[in-house]
Homo-oligomer: A and B are copies of this chain.
Amino acid sequence: MMDNTKRRRPRQKRSQRRVASILDAAAELLEEVGYRALTTNAIAAKAGTSIGSIYQFFPNKNAVVAEVVRGFRNQLDLILDQVLTVDLARQSVTRLVDVLVDSLEGLAAATPGFGSIFTGSKFGGSAEEQALELEKDIIEPLSDLLAQAYPNVSDEQRRLCMLVVTETTKVLMSRAAVEDRETQRKIRQELKRMLGLYLASHFEAPRRRGTRSRKSKK
């Protein structure tokens, strides 16, 4: 029950276009109705094709979602690479949080379905794996940055903080999503404030001075 290669790979332009429209349809439906209400029939209808065509190229529904998430990961990685810099981390964790939240918000606004995936969880099979990877794509660079900028904080504490930060960000951005624009902004503002205070309480000890990081302790 996995994403094996038991299915054909699209060789002609025709089928490649079809696969793309299937993925687009899936992403849009994810945005509109969420993962739980996502059905293969709806995907086919929205993509203007038949269920059979989906199964021509995907072993099962989950594989379609997994592929969509894979696309999201690429976009996210691109943005985070650009935005999460050691320099920023050393400046202040507060700014780091602001940038992270804004990046995620921007991506969610520009990418149908992204919010639904980032926010939600409890997919099964390979989609679940991809969603976990997407989370790692955020946690790991962030964690590395903090490790470099604040080497006096233990690995375990840093891991705990990352858990808190991601989980909190997920719910609050998800909660914001159902509110009007103004409330959304306010919720994000509170999120930034809270995470800023929290992270600062763990990561502001060593004065950001020399660019040279000290060796780890504990």
Measuring CB to CB, which residues of chain A are less than 8 angstroms from any residue of chain B? 36, 122, 160-161, 163-164, 167-168, 170-172, 175, 186-187, 190-191, 193-195, 197-198, 201
Bound-state CA distance A160–B190 (Å) is: 8
Task: Answer whether A197 and B190 are a contact pair too, CB < 8 Å, given A167-B171, A171-B167, A175-B167.
Answer: no
Bound-state CA distance A161–B175 (Å) is: 13
Copies per complex?
2
The answer on a CB contact under 8 Å between A164 and B191 is: yes
- Chain A interface helix/strand/loop/mixed: helix
A sample of 6 more A-B contacts (CB under 8 A), given A168-B194, A193-B201, is A160-B190, A161-B190, A164-B187, A168-B168, A171-B171, A194-B195
Bound-state CA distance A191–B193 (Å) is: 15
Task: Answer whether A168 and B160 are a contact pair too, CB < 8 Å, given A194-B194, A198-B193, A201-B197.
Answer: no
- Cβ–Cβ < 8 Å partners of A122 in chain B: 36
- Cβ–Cβ < 8 Å partners of A194 in chain B: 164, 168, 194-195, 197-198
Task: Answer whether A167 and B172 are a contact pair too, CB < 8 Å, given A194-B197, A197-B198.
Answer: yes
- Cβ–Cβ < 8 Å partners of A201 in chain B: 193, 197
- Cβ–Cβ < 8 Å partners of A197 in chain B: 194, 197-198, 201
